[in-house]
Chains A and B, each alone.
Chain A
Amino acid sequence: MITSDPTASQTAGAIILHVNGEKHALTVDHRTTLLDALRERLDLTGTKKGCDHGQCGACTLLVDGRRSLACLQLAVAAEGREITTIEGVGGSGAGQGAGPGSESGGQGELHPVQQAFLEFDGFQCGYCTPGQICSAIAMIEEHAAGWPSAVTDDVHPEAAPQPLTPEEIRERMSGNLCRCGAYMSIVQAVGYAAGARHTHSGPDEGSAA
């Protein structure tokens, strides 16, 4: 029907995924989502499956530095893109794969947003947390780049920058649901991490109380 190219009708193929600064070669059925490839093939289970339909945000990770959903993305379509999962946002051994705005350090070093979630108890069961953290990391960068949100009064580019108020945080983070309802402390943690980035100071141990 189509060309003589033998690969043209294959329904599976060999791909290379760039995840947290490392290359992974694998053969995938084209139906495999990025989420399933990470969890079931690469054993990177930090990225969670909640709804599998784009409705909860549990599978949020960074693709080329932007927050995306792994459940509505095909693994084969993610080939060639820089993928950062929750396992890679902090300091990794290779010092790579960190999200935008993070300072990579030694192995096991937490990203400031991760640190803020710990300090402010930004979770209960923790299932939504990797998605919340990946989303927040990128959201803080979006805000810093001047992107407006649906609750920004004046979207005009010359308008004064909108501070990251709790209302702004709630709107910008609305793609991440939390079944435990830990929203109050999530908003505090995100606000704190954003403020810390803004003033270029690290998280202060004493401030959580």
Chain B
Amino acid sequence: MKEFAYRRAADVAGAVALLDADPGARFLGGGTNLVDLMKAGVESPERLIDIRELPLDGIGRTEEGGLQIGATVTNSDLAAHPEVRRRYPALTQAVLAGASGQLRNMATVGGNLLQRTRCGYFTDITQPCNKREPGSGCPAVEGEHRNAAVLGASHHCVAVHPSDMGVALAAYDAVVSYQTAEGAGELALSDFYLPVGDTPHRETALPSGALITAVTLPPAPVRSRYRKVRERASYAFAIGSVAAALEVRDGVVREVRLAYGAVASRPWRARTAEAVLRGAPADAGSFAAAADAELAAASPLTGNAYKVTLLRNLTIAVLTELAELAEPAGPTGHDQEGSAR
């Protein structure tokens, strides 16, 4: 690991000024990704600006009836918060499906969004990797790519974004607020991560030196769910996941949100599937048709084609479950749905 200086920031303006003054500096959240990558030599900042004492650790209601989550809220506090559990249960489920109790106590919301891929070539500095070393090539395309992307990738990089939390945030239409030395700004989560193209090293649309200050959630459909598939029962990254929210009335889909995890360089909002579903009967046939429409754009490699089937099945299973919750008594269940709030 390279030597580095360390400072604790006391307020947002100070943190941003410290980073702005020093292009070799990085913010330190929980450190669960950054410190690990520094050990591996993938990251070698000259200075760390510790942001955990910033007053960004609160969760509160917004005027529109949504929720604002501070950037340094720990993943544990986010998952345990009563308002999150009540109104954004897929977010609680997504966070709890990630990492371990210890890691969630350390990890922050901002750090979770900006964690880097777990692609084994990216974390091994003896290997070429376009994301780490632009122009050096992507060995994953021909090599180990069992957990690589099937949607939105390019031959320059097929890595997936590993966050579970981000998938739920994508389904809930989250907005990321940030601060730079020039002022405050915000980005919808759908615009937050950049398309891969030929610049896999450029991952987000955040301006350089920006500090994420908060994530804001608008009011959400009542019923939502996150489901994750992985190679062991717990404490493993996803090989595919689905965050979904669904409102059904008289057997018809009124509102739907669908996002996929571990299949693209970013949390993948399945807007094509959503368009197929709105106004369609809330049954397995529609759910399958919607998944097929979304996954028609998939371009798997030889070793990860299983993900397309996995995603299709997950989509049908999660939406079916939500539809049954929405209308347990059949197509007249809309009264129950209204009163279940």
Contact = CB atoms under 8 A, between A and B. Distances in A.
Contact of A76 (B6, B22, B89): B6
Contact of B234 (A29, A33, A156, A170): A170
Nearest to B104: A175
A8 B18 CA distance: 10
Interface in B17-76: 18, 21-22, 28, 30-32, 35-36, 38-39, 47-48, 50, 52, 76
Contact of B31 (A3, A29, A77, A142): A77
Interface in A125-147: 135, 138-139, 142, 145-147
B106 A30 contact: no
B189 to A, nearest CB: 22
Nearest to B89: A155
A150 B97 contact: yes
A74 B6 contact: yes
A76 to B, nearest CB: 5
A55 B7 CA distance: 27
Given A54-B32, A148-B96, A150-B234, A66 B3 contact: no
B101 A9 contact: no
Nearest to B31: A72
Contacts of A181: none
Contacts of A173: 101
A11 B86 CA distance: 45
A12 B7 CA distance: 11
Contact of B35 (A60, A67, A72, A142): A72
B21 A3 contact: yes
Interface string B77-107: 0011010011001001100110111110110
Nearest to B103: A54
Contacts of B80: 142, 145-148
B22 A2 contact: yes
B76 A175 contact: no
B101 A148 contact: no
Given A2-B21, A54-B36, A66-B105, A77 B6 contact: yes
A112 B3 CA distance: 42
Nearest to A134: B102
B196 to A, nearest CB: 26
Interface residues of A, number: 49
A11 B3 contact: yes
A11 B4 contact: yes
A110 interface: no
Contacts of A10: 5
A1 B23 CA distance: 10
A69 B86 contact: no
A13 interface: yes
What class of interface size applies to chain B in its complex with A? Answer: 35 or more
B1 interface: yes
A150 B93 contact: yes
B101 A67 contact: yes
Interface in A79-132: none
B22 A1 contact: yes
B214 to A, nearest CB: 22
A150 to B, nearest CB: 4
Contacts of A146: 80
A146 B76 CA distance: 12
Contacts of B28: 74, 77
Contacts of A8: 5, 7
Given A142-B101, A147-B76, A69 B106 contact: yes
Contacts of A63: 105
Contact of B85 (A11, A13, A148, A170): A148
A149 interface: yes
A37 to B, nearest CB: 14
Contacts of A176: 100
B103 A69 contact: yes
Given A73-B31, A150-B93, A175 B100 contact: yes
B212 to A, nearest CB: 19
Given A53-B36, A69-B106, A31 B4 contact: yes
Contacts of A9: 5, 47
Given A11-B4, A138-B101, A171 B35 contact: no
Interface in B104-142: 105-106
Contacts of B105: 63, 66-68
9 contacts: A53-B39, A68-B102, A73-B106, A139-B101, A142-B76, A148-B92, A150-B93, A155-B96, A156-B86
Interface of A: 1-3, 8-11, 13, 29-31, 33, 52-54, 57, 60, 63, 66-69, 72-74, 76-77, 135, 138-139, 142, 145-150, 152, 155-158, 170-176
Interface of B: 1, 3-7, 18, 21-22, 28, 30-32, 35-36, 38-39, 47-48, 50, 52, 76, 79-80, 82, 85-86, 89, 92-93, 96-97, 99-103, 105-106, 233-235
5 closest residue pairs by CB, A with B: A175-B100, A174-B234, A11-B3, A157-B82, A174-B235
